[in-house]
Amino acid sequence: MNPLHGKTALVTGGSRGIGRAVARRLARDGARVAVHYGSNEQAAQETVAAIVAEGGQAFSLRTELGTTDDAERLWAAFDEHADKLDILVNNAGILNDEPGIEHVTRRQFERIFAVNATAPFFVTRLALPRLSDGGRIVNVSTMLTRGWAVPESISYAMSKGALDVFTSTLAKQLAARGITVNAVAPGVVDTDIHQGRIVGEARTYLASQSPMGRLGTPEDVADVVAFLASEDSRWVTGQWVDVTGGTLL
């Protein structure tokens, strides 16, 4: 079955981690996938190659998010390859290293909001003329915005909190076009963004916080995104979907 046959999807930050898993899953479901990346061209090409090897269709495009005119440049690159959009996954994001609020500089704070909140806002704004009626928007949030306060990630959680508000508000506006807007909220996912952060006792502790007894995988998140990108999710919009393996229970 190819539930997304004939669809075109864009996954920001699609070269690694959760983004790569999402891009590959959407391609397996039949979508032609635009794999966006910021700087790691090799990773993006590896993702595209993996999709093609599995019989899918994909192309890559480079734009550094969080910079002036980033959305305009991203869509100009997209338009060179495709003439429509059906699915937008706002996945790209960054973390700060911050032991607490007293260690967060204005530059760090503004940078994390530029990438995690401002970029998805304007990428989506410019996506709307291209997005088909009945299309799908999926934003990647975090469990840190609800019920799991971590002082060491205060600016990251705040930026994702803005994305949550964006999700519910935009869902109401776009409903008349049959476009759904939802957010997925992963818990701790075993990706390279956490390299050097989750080791030893910390890894054991975090795995124990889920009643499932393990960390999440990128595929755990990608499969939920695939549902929200499909026709099966047509009656789900404006939702914050917990993808934490029960960590918030």
At 59 the pLDDT is 98
CATH number of the domain located at residue range(s) 8-238 in this protein = 3.40.50.720
Q: What is the pLDDT of residues 109-120, one digit of tens each?
A: 999 999 999 999
**pLDDT confidence bin for 199, thresholds 50/70/90:** low
Nearest of 149, 125, 155, 145 to residue 137 by alpha carbon: 125
Cα distance between residue 211 and residue 45, in whole Å: 36
Strands of the chain, DSSP E: 8-11, 32-37, 57-62, 85-90, 131-140, 180-186, 240-243
Q: What is the pLDDT of residues 87-102, one digit of tens each?
A: 999 999 999 888 889 9
Q: Are strands 85-90 and 131-140 parallel, antiparallel or unpaired?
A: parallel
At 108 the pLDDT is 95
- Domain coordinates in residue numbering, the chain: 8-238
Cα distance between residue 33 and residue 55, in whole Å: 12
* Mean pLDDT, residues 167-186 taken together: 98
Residues 114-132: b if buried by 16+ CB within 10 A, e if exposed: bbbbbbbebbbebbbebbe
At 148 the pLDDT is 87
The single residue of 156, 180, 181, 247 carrying the catalytic annotation is: 156
Q: What separation in angstroms does the CA of 16 have from each of 1, 48, 191?
A: 26, 11, 8
Q: How far is CA 203 from the centre of its chain?
A: 23
Cα distance between residue 138 and residue 181, in whole Å: 6
Q: What is the pLDDT of residues 28-50, one digit of tens each?
A: 999 999 999 999 999 999 999 99
**Catalytic status, residue 37:** no
